[in-house]
Amino acid sequence: MQVEDEFDITWEVDDGYAGPSRPQHCSIDVDVLDDEMTADELEVLYNEIVMEEFRQYVTAYGSNKREFVEWAKLAMKARKAEEDED
């Protein structure tokens, strides 16, 4: 029986928001498989590969860092002023 040397994984990011996500793809080469792997071990390998792809290609970033810093400074100053009043 002829089997491909690679398996194409399709994965998506589930961020909890409505609307479709964009499918991503990576592959598993036959050489990373151990002949003695159980179905559970194969599932773990699959999940590890998907998570590594996620860590490499998906980045979270904030868009209002400066505003946060200014707010935090004001909040800390106000808290300090309240503590000094007590």
How does pLDDT run across 36-83, given as a tens digit for each residue? 999 999 999 999 999 999 999 888 899 999 999 999 999 999 999 999
Residue 76 counted as domain residue: no
In the structure, what pLDDT confidence band is assigned to residue 10 with cuts at 50, 70 and 90? very high
Please check whether residue 66 lies inside any domain of the structure: no
Residue 69: its H or E element:
helix 65-85
Residue 52 lies in domain: 6-61
- Who contacts 15 (Cβ-Cβ below 8 Å, separation ≥6)? 21
| Rounded distance between C-alpha atoms, residue 83 and residue 11, angstroms | 51
In a domain, 80, yes or no: no
DSSP category for residue 46? H
Q: Which residue has the higher pLDDT, 44 or 84?
A: 44
Domain count, the chain: 1
Provide the pLDDT for residue 25: 95
Cβ neighbors of 9 (< 8 A, separation 6 or more) are 25, 26, 27, 28, 46, 49, 50, 53
Tell me whether residue 48 is in a domain. Answer: yes
List Cβ neighbours of 8 (8 Å cut-off, separation of 6 or more): 25, 26, 27
